[in-house]
Structure 1
């Protein structure tokens, strides 16, 4: 079995995908906090902080690949976001390069593109439009993965994750939902596909209301097994309980776009690139 490092292993997303991954890989789990209570076969625990370069070098030594879910997962002040998501990401990528770890899966986010209106369909060729400092850190992550692929020959995949769960919970998530089984399929493509250089893909299941062109993922063989519309009635019922948001309801990033917004709403909503 290949040994794969999984950072952010105590988090919710990791908890959903670990049982699926450990059937095919030996997992070296890492987080800065306590170990998960449900360690299973083919899993070992290493407590480590992303901001500790030495700890990252020890963590990835002898591994075949990294699934990087670790870091700050929601909007926060700059220092809180930057230390794990920028400095920490640089540390683990550098450690992978120095230790010869060639495969790197980066958990990017839809929030790197969050200020696109919901009426726009976007792919991987449009410019990033982050909806906060967290989104900025994910755009940075995609850029530095590209650098390590081009300059150091690593094979990287950046997955712009929508919302991971067993079912979409509101109208927005009918467009961005990602079932854990479909996420694992994308991860395994990133770890195994022979032609990966730096691939950017959208982390979404088969969502008929999607805002994203995921041709890049499908070209690598991605075939999502789960359909958001199977959960439509529940999602719409849950949406009815949520108050309207004058900014967040207009943009793909949802509440992240409205947090601290004091810009020109019409201009942001209708902005087009100047060519």
Structure 2
């Protein structure tokens, strides 16, 4: 497999968040110069990192931040169900602004963080049978990820970019419950996914891939990712004996899990304490 193109500089939105924080050491060790974009300043910067504070919904901020970069890792946005207005403003508009800033700056490689919730009403078995499932969102949040994928497709086809929409299972340092033993994406494999998005395989074009590790209990068909050079190496089974399965993890047989159940409702009904503020 050809080595990934090392960008002189890449930008990572959501740069102060959990997934970015776990990913950063791998990028540093690989020699990338990384601009960490977020609403708050990323901490504990390494010599090859710079923190830029601003919103993915601000075209001026994004245009300036992406100058002289060769790749974008778009992790920024809301990561749970919120009101429709909030979801649209941050997740959908923020993705469009990010892609447009990339286009304006001649950036040809973009990774978009999608989600299993874009296909949450599919059965788990569907994910094993089909490398790229059609959208079946389980929430407004899931709808926003479908829209992000559609925007990625538009920019790839219209402007000759390589855009990789990564349907993330469950990020984190380790799997946290029985369900995540199948859906976990390890930090090291998240780096391998970034490398796949930045390399020359499958470029240009829009690529929808599962962002999960090579889990023994995994349900994902990994063929689409392997076509662009994503070869996951880690397995959640390593931590199976440490996982507490007594916490009431709702299992519906659907990719969306609890989010696709009657108990999880669309919009702010799930968070009345926030909606009252």
Interval of TM-score (by shorter of Structure 1 and Structure 2): 0.7 to 0.9
Q: 1:75 aligns with which of 81, 87, 106?
A: 81
CA shift for structure 1 position 122: 4.7
Change (3 A) 1:194 1:250: closer
User: Which range is displaced more, 157-166 or 10-19?
Assistant: 157-166
Partner of 1:181: 188
Equivalent residue number for residue 28 of structure 1: 35
Q: 1:126 aligns with which of 111, 129, 133?
A: 133
* Alignment partner, residue 7 of structure 1: 13
Per-residue Cα deviation, 1:93-121 (whole angstroms, up to 9, x for no partner): 11111111111110111111111123433
- CA 182–244 in structure 1, closer or farther in 2 if over 3 Å, else same: closer
Note the aligned Cα RMSD (angstroms).
1.6
Instruction: Give unpaired runs (5+ residues) of structure 2.
Output: 1-6, 267-277
Counterpart of 1:219? 227
Distance 1:158 1:122 in 2: 19
Q: Following the alignment from structure 1 to structure 2, what is the Cα–Cα distance between the partners of residues 68 and 92?
A: 8
| 3-state SS in 2 of match to 1:46 | strand
Which residues in structure 2 correspond to 1:70-149 (within 5 Å)?
Answer: 70-120=76-126, 121-149=128-156
1:251 corresponds to which of 244, 251, 254? 254
CA contact (8 A) 2:169 2:184 kept: yes
Aligned: 1:61 with 2:67: yes
Distance 1:161 1:125 in 2: 13
Q: Report the TM-score, using the length of structure 2 for normalisation.
A: 0.87
Matched, 1:151 2:154: no
